[in-house]
Structure 1
Amino acid sequence: MSAAMDLNCDMGESFGVYRYGADQEMMPLITSANIACGFHGGDPRVMRETVALAKRHGVRVGAHIGLPDRVGFGRRYMQISPEEIHDISLYQLGAIEAFLRAEGMTLEHVKLHGALYMMASEDEALSDAFAEAVHAFNPSLCVYTLPGCHTAASASRLGIRVVGEYFADRPYASGEVKMFGWTHEEIGSPADIALRVTAMLTDPDYAGIGSICVHSDTPGAPEIMKAIRVSMPSF
């Protein structure tokens, strides 16, 4: 089991009076935070507070780029052009960068959210547009995505480092993640998830994994991440 394995979490997705996710509990347990940039979730105050929280815990920050769909929390597929993907990616990268600069921090990586994550992974034109926006903004950033998908290929073609991720709190079938429509029975208990993660890390089919994700809004997310950490000697 790699001592360099990263633990990432999607967070900063509250906005206005709406509170979402166990950010305070998750931040001390992770090494990388994917912070929403105001489209699918998040707002300026939440972005500022989440960046500051990451700084206090020494957690790396990435931009969590989503579709402009707060009502659907960025989990509904939309008809959107490659040009729009490029532009909304640049917009959100710039937004989170402002809060990081104010804290004396740097942006480390980029990860797409929800439906956009899956749309780009399955569509070369969309993934190319996203990768081109990242490269134009800062080619030294990493892109977190599913190993072997279009997003990974598009980023690699531009010389962007790709970090393959495994979704600990989502079920897999025949090596494919079930991102939406899963049940709690399918993901199991924290102990079940930790066992699944341990098995994945010794499976050659998952050799490209560099980061393990637990979403902050998954019920029991802190307990899940604690169980994973206990199962990993490096933590």
Structure 2
Amino acid sequence: MRKQILNAIAIAGLSLSTITGAHAVELDLAPGKNKLDAIVELPIKKVRAVEANGEILFLSENGRFVLRGQLYDVWYKDTVDTMKEMEDTATRIHFDRMGADLDDYNTLSIGDGEKQVVAFVDPQCPVCHKLMKDAEKLGDDYTFKFVVVPALGEKSNELARKVFCAKDREDALEAYMSQDLETLPQKTSCDTAQYDMTLMMATLLDVQGVPFVVAPDGRMSKGRPSELENWLEGKQ
């Protein structure tokens, strides 16, 4: 999935440095905001937060490195100070804390409930279509934001772009659900900058497969929950 999105980014003429740069500006970490004198890549694959003697330390996977200091989450623009916050940061995604308006991205909506669910889907993914059918039954309690990304190759990229450039978003949802995006009427002129940002977001969130579902409380499911309503309510 990640490879497919990176390929789509490459087709769009973007690079990983462009992605990093775009988000660096958004996060006030652009050149000029902070002086960077040097960068050294350390041989660390994973980092664990460990609390010992009342102090939180950061331990490399092989135990070689111990880091001391404060952790700052650039997604949420806030410090992470307790082990409870560490666990939440590691296991949940909170789009509201990011300040991200998902309607600005390549998104289709189902339902109008108070609680928001976010799911990354691909036009050619059969399981994604089943998930969207599940969502239709829960629209009174939840609003589902389906972020359309190209997880399954260049054809998916073509169809995902058709969703973004559709003349009418309601028509796009109907065409998506009926798997008839090929004939979806398109805008005469379509600025795809926010489509490219959709790919960036999926990459930075490390979406590696579809469907990728985020519950209202931030819990993540890599795949379609077998009982969607129970999972959303935290019962599964």
What TM-score do the two structures reach when normalised by structure 1? 0.29
Larger radius of gyration: 2
What TM-score do the two structures reach when normalised by structure 2? 0.29
Between Structure 1 and Structure 2, the one with more helix by share is 1
